[in-house]
A = this chain, B = another copy of it.
Amino acid sequence: MVRRTPKRLDYEKELRRQGVRITRQRSVILAILSETEDHPDALEIFRRASAEDPSISLSTVYRTMKLLGDMGAIHRHAFEGGPSRFEHAGGEHHDHLIDIETGDVIEFKSERIEQLQDEIAKALGYDIVHHRLELYGRKRRAG
C-alpha cells in the first residue's frame, strides 16, 4: 500500500496549525516540494520556484528549508560531494542509494539492517537518535 504524497494544502494547514505564517513564497515552495518525487537541492528548488514567482530569493529558499526541516516537514540529506538535498517527510523511514554517475537517488528500506543497528548501538551502550545509511553505487551493465 503506497502512501500518497500529501497535497500542498495539507502542508499549509498543518503549518498554520503550528503557528507558521503562510506567505506567498512559502506557498510556492511547499507546492514544489509536495509535487516532486526527487531530491532537489536548494538551488534547484530556487530555480523551480523562480519559474512560478521570479521575485523569490535564494535566501528565502534556504530559510524556508531550515524552517521546514526544524518543523519536521522535510528531511535534509547531505550526500557526499554536493549541497544538501531535500525531500518531503511523511513517508516511511528509508535509506538511500545514490547513483554516483547520475546523482539519481533510490530509496530503500531494510527492517533487518535497522534492527542490527539497534543491537550494535545497544551493545556499545548507546541509544540511537538517528542514523545515516547511504550506498554509493554504479548501475550494473547487463552482459
Contacts and interface: CB of A to CB of B under 8 A. Distances in A.
Contact of A135 (B125, B131, B137, B140): B131
A131 B121 CA distance: 19
Interface residues of A, number: 32
Interface majority SS (helix, strand, loop, mixed), chain A: strand
A133 B133 contact: yes
Contacts of A106: 124, 126
A24 interface: no
A120 interface: yes
Task: Report which residue of A100, A120, A130 has the largest number of chain B beta carbons within 10 angstroms of its beta carbon.
Answer: A120
A87 to B, nearest CB: 17
Interface string A118-129: 001110111111
Given A106-B126, A127-B137, A129-B138, 8 more contacts: A108-B124, A112-B116, A125-B140, A126-B137, A131-B133, A131-B134, A132-B136, A133-B134
Interface of A: 78, 80, 97, 99-100, 106, 108, 110, 112-113, 116-117, 120-122, 124-140
17 contacts: A78-B80, A80-B132, A100-B129, A108-B120, A110-B116, A110-B120, A113-B113, A121-B135, A121-B137, A126-B139, A126-B140, A127-B140, A128-B135, A129-B137, A129-B138, A130-B136, A131-B133
